[in-house]
Each structure stands twice: as C-alpha cells, then as structure tokens.
C-alpha cells in the first residue's frame, strides 16, 4: 500500500482484495471480543472540518479496540487552513500522533496534509471523494453476494464524492457502474473519462431514472445536497424529484436488487421509509462495515 490512504485508485486490485479479506478477519475478531492490540501505545488524530456520526464513531471505536488512543479534533479545534498553514499542522500533528484521519472540505488540503505528514493520513471524506465509504461498501456487497464478478451497481442521485470513489473502484474491479443523475449533476468529467477509458468496466452516465436502473444488482443513493451545499436544498429538491429511490424504482431493475445508502439518509427525499426498512436494504450492514473496513485500512498502512 501507499504510505497514505487518500483515493481508491491508489490501490491495486490485489490490495483491494487483501483489504476485504483482512476486514473480514478483523470483523470476526471484533465480534468475538478478541484482543488485537496492533496499536498499543499508538495514537490517532481525527481531524473533522465537517460533521460526522459514522466516521467519527467507527474510527474512534476501531482504534481504541486495537489498543490505541484516538483524539477528536473538531472544526473549532484546529481550523485547518485558517488558523495555521496545513503544512505546519501536518508536521506538528505527525510528531504527536502515529496516524491522522481527516475529513476536510477541499480535496487539495488532504493532499497537502499527506505531503507534509510523517504519519500515514487516511481520507475520511472530502468534497471530492469518500474512499473509506467505498471500501466498506464493497465489503458489504461481497458479504451479500457469493462473488464480485459481473456486478452492476447503479447509483441514483447527485454525482458527488461517493460516486467519484465508486468510479475509481471501477478502474480496478471490473463491473458495470451506472450513475443516474439529473442533468447538471453529473460526476466530475475527468474522473468519468478516466473510468470510461478503462475497458474492463462499463460506465454509463444517464439522466433517465426509468431505463437507467434496469438490470442493477445494487441501487445506491446518497443525499441530494452534501455537507457544505445545504443552502441549495430547496432548489435541488425540485430538480431531483424523479430520482427518488422508492419501491417502484427498485422494482424497475427487473431483478433482485440490494439497496445501499452511505447514510445519513434524508427519508422522504432521496429515498423512502419503505425502502430503508425493506428486506433488500443493507444500509445498516454497510454502516457497520465502516468499522471493519477502516480497521483493515489502518492495519494495512502500518504492516
């Protein structure tokens, strides 16, 4: 593995499979309450410029279970890029802490943080991507399907940070990936182009919520307005109205389909209570697997 965990595209296919396998192993150990003190006497700095439930709780719980100490640093503690230069923060924090997890706005800031940090940096979400999420997602799909071969994942909604990490996963893991989004809300052009140039996967970007979902093994959605965009919520609600993942849409795949959402969900907007609570919804397995996927990432970075 690279020194840092910043993007899915930085991993090889072999490393992705190794992370999935390590995550399964650590999940069993965690569930059996086994001792696994890989991070004894080590500390993790968790820098959050944005809110979080899953990321904060799973990183802190995981690092603590593995024998270490995790520090929560919220938006008012560090003021990354405001109170002090990022390159100064990187050098100071990495003298105290063995690993840094950061959730930041600007993707360039996490690159800068990693560039100047002596300790491994894990990307806990930026405006551009969310690689820890997608490692948890693929682990979850793997647990629910015998194999990752011939997978068709259809993402419905805003072409956002989660989609960019999925597009990067398609560079390594062959699959069909469809993004069904309103016009004007497609994912980043360069990321799509890179994914489409890779002929091992099939990438479809469409604005058709009826035909686009056909044949999908997984329908995945996320909020229509990400953190930092909430002032656009009202306007987007109208533009995204046909893109709600409801039971009708799931039926239109024409096959047995799993429903996924990175959470937090805004029930009644991008999806419904009925879908969230359905038998085919695996959103809570997905949330649980954040813990195990990230434990694997942190162990792999230090092994």
Residue 204 within binding range of ligand CP, rule CB under 6 A: no
Residues 6 or more apart from 277 whose CB is under 8 A from it?
none
Binding track, positions 109-138, relative to ligand NVA; x by CB under 6 A = ----------------x-------------
| Residues numbered 25-84 forming contacts with ligand CP, rule: CB under 6 A | 52-55
Give the nearest distance from C-beta 141 to ligand CP in angstroms. Answer: 16
Residue 263 within binding range of ligand CP, rule CB under 6 A: yes
Residue 140 within binding range of ligand CP, rule CB under 6 A: no
Site size toward ligand CP, by CB under 6 A: 9
Six token digits for residue 171: 């560079």
Alpha-carbon distance of 28 to 30, in angstroms, equals 5
Give the nearest distance from C-beta 67 to ligand CP in angstroms. Answer: 23
Give the nearest distance from C-beta 51 to ligand NVA in angstroms. Answer: 9
Six token digits for residue 286: 């997905």
- Decide which of ligand NVA, ligand CP, none touches 123; Cβ closer than 5 to 8 Å per partner kind: none
| Residue 262 is among the residues annotated as catalytic for this protein | yes
Cβ closer to ligand CP: 55 or 168?
55
**Nearest by Cα to 42 from 14, 6, 18, 66:** 66
User: Do residues 198 and 170 make contact, with C-beta atoms less than 8 angstroms apart?
Assistant: yes
Alpha-carbon distance of 95 to 117, in angstroms, equals 9
**Nearest by Cα to 262 from 155, 171, 184:** 155
Give the nearest distance from C-beta 287 to ligand CP in angstroms. Answer: 7
Q: What is the CA radius of gyration of the chain?
A: 19
| Residues numbered 140-179 forming contacts with ligand NVA, rule: CB under 6 A | 160-162
Six token digits for residue 290: 């954040």
Give the nearest distance from C-beta 223 to ligand NVA in angstroms. Answer: 5
Burial 168-196 (b: 16+ CB within 10 A, else e): bbbbbbbbbbbbbbbeebbbbeebbebbe
Residue 201 within binding range of ligand CP, rule CB under 6 A: no
* 245-183-281 Cα angle (round to 5): 15
- Decide which of ligand NVA, ligand CP, none touches 161; Cβ closer than 5 to 8 Å per partner kind: ligand NVA
User: Do residues 141 and 115 make contact, with C-beta atoms less than 8 angstroms apart?
Assistant: no
Residue nearest to ligand NVA (CB): 226
| Residues numbered 203-222 forming contacts with ligand NVA, rule: CB under 6 A | 222
- Decide which of ligand CP, ligand NVA, none touches 53; Cβ closer than 5 to 8 Å per partner kind: ligand CP
User: Do residues 269 and 229 make contact, with C-beta atoms less than 8 angstroms apart?
Assistant: no
Alpha-carbon distance of 228 to 264, in angstroms, equals 14
- Decide which of ligand CP, ligand NVA, none touches 198; Cβ closer than 5 to 8 Å per partner kind: none
First-last CA distance in the chain: 9
Residue 98 within binding range of ligand NVA, rule CB under 6 A: no
Residue 232 within binding range of ligand NVA, rule CB under 6 A: no
Binding site for ligand CP (CB under 6 A): 52-55, 125, 133, 262-264
Which residue ranges make up the site for ligand NVA (CB under 6 A)?
125, 160-162, 222-223, 226-227, 262
Residues annotated as part of the active site:
262
């Amino acid at each position: 593995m690279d020194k840092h965990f910043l993007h899915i595209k930085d991993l090889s296919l072999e490393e992705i499979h190794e992370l999935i396998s390590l995550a399964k192993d650590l999940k069993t150990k965690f569930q059996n309450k086994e001792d696994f003190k890989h991070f004894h006497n080590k500390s993790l700095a968790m820098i959050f410029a944005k809110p979080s439930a899953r990321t904060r709780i799973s990183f802190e719980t995981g690092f603590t279970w593995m024998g270490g100490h995790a520090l929560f640093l919220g938006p008012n503690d560090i003021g990354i890029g405001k109170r002090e230069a990022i390159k100064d923060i990187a050098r100071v924090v990495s003298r105290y802490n063995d690993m840094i997890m950061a959730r930041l706005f600007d993707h360039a800031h996490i690159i800068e943080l990693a560039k100047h940090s002596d300790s491994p940096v894990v990307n806990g979400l930026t405006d551009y991507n969310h690689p820890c999420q997608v490692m948890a997602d693929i682990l979850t799909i793997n647990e629910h399907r015998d194999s990752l071969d011939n997978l068709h994942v259809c993402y419905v909604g805003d072409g956002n940070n989660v989609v960019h990490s999925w597009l990067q996963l398609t560079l390594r893991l062959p699959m069909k990936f469809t993004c069904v989004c309103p016009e004007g809300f497609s994912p980043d052009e360069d990321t799509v182009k890179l994914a489409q140039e890779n002929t091992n996967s099939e990438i479809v970007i469409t604005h058709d919520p009826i035909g686009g979902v056909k044949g999908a093994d997984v329908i995945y959605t996320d909020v229509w307005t990400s953190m930092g965009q909430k002032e656009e919520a009202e306007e987007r609600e109208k533009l995204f109205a046909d893109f709600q993942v409801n039971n009708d849409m799931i039926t239109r795949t024409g096959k047995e389909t799993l429903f996924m959402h990175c959470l937090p969900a805004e029930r009644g907007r991008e999806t419904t209570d009925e879908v969230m609570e359905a038998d085919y919804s695996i959103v809570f397995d997905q949330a649980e697997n954040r813990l195990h996927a990230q434990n694997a990432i942190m162990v792999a970075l230090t092994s």
